[in-house]
Amino acid sequence: MEETIAGTEAVHIPTQRGESLLDTAVRYAEERHWDVFPGTWLEAADGVQRCSCGDPACAAPGAHPARADWATQATGSATVARRMWQKQPTASILLPTGRTFDAICVPETAGFLALARMERMELMLGPVTLTPDRRMQFFVLPGASVKVPELVRKLGWSPSSLDLVALGEGSYVAGPPTRFGSSGAVQWARRPTSVNRWLPDVEELISPLTYACGRDR
């Protein structure tokens, strides 16, 4: 079943299981106004799920761009998104960063520590994903990738000393329920809702994220 958030505007929350990739991609474009584009997909070969790119050593099987021009393919139109996934219904859902949001990517252990601190501090949070390769991605306002190095330095850290990556223009994240080979699917650690439609600025979250990454070294 679909969850909805009550309020002045009904917002459907993408379910983590049981909803097609096509329907979810359309929801992201239509209800969150996120650009989306279809990536690679998984194909069964000798009982093993392999990436459609054909590389047996693919680092992100079924969860990376299928075309070099993916940035121009990305669309915020629900109609266009539906048409693209109708051509390949099992294609992964990829969301370009640097447009409606940037993403701060940290190790899972640091992410959960930071999330707990943020909740105690009652900070406004955006959606947060948890990937099968044990990373967490915090959605923030665009422009974070430019700000993060200096913000980290002001907190007393060298940016290169922390496993904290800001994904902005030219990058992307995989949206739930995209699967990474046999490792599992991307999930929401914190789902999109009507409450977190307005994203935080990275300056509001960088202190607990930096602290957590420092503890996680």
- The predicted-structure confidence for 87-114, as pLDDT tens digits, reads as follows 999 999 999 999 999 999 999 999 999 9
Cβ atoms < 10 Å from Cβ of 130: 20
- CA distance linking residue 70 with residue 98, whole number of Å: 14
| Bridge partners, 3 (sequence order) | 13
Q: Which two tokens stand for residue 29?
A: 């474009």
pLDDT over 90 (residue 126)? yes
- b/e for 15-54, b at 16 or more Cβ within 10 A? beeebebbbbbbbbbbbbebbbbbbbbbeeeeeebbbbbe
For residue 121, give the H/E element and its range. none
Q: Global pTM?
A: 0.89
pLDDT over 80 (residue 8)? no
Q: Which two tokens stand for residue 26?
A: 């359309």
pLDDT of 5 reads 27
pLDDT of 13 reads 38
- CA distance linking residue 125 with residue 137, whole number of Å: 12
pLDDT of 17 reads 52
Amino acid symbol at 126: G
- CA distance linking residue 168 with residue 170, whole number of Å: 6
- CA distance linking residue 127 with residue 200, whole number of Å: 10
- CA distance linking residue 77 with residue 75, whole number of Å: 5
- CA distance linking residue 67 with residue 190, whole number of Å: 30
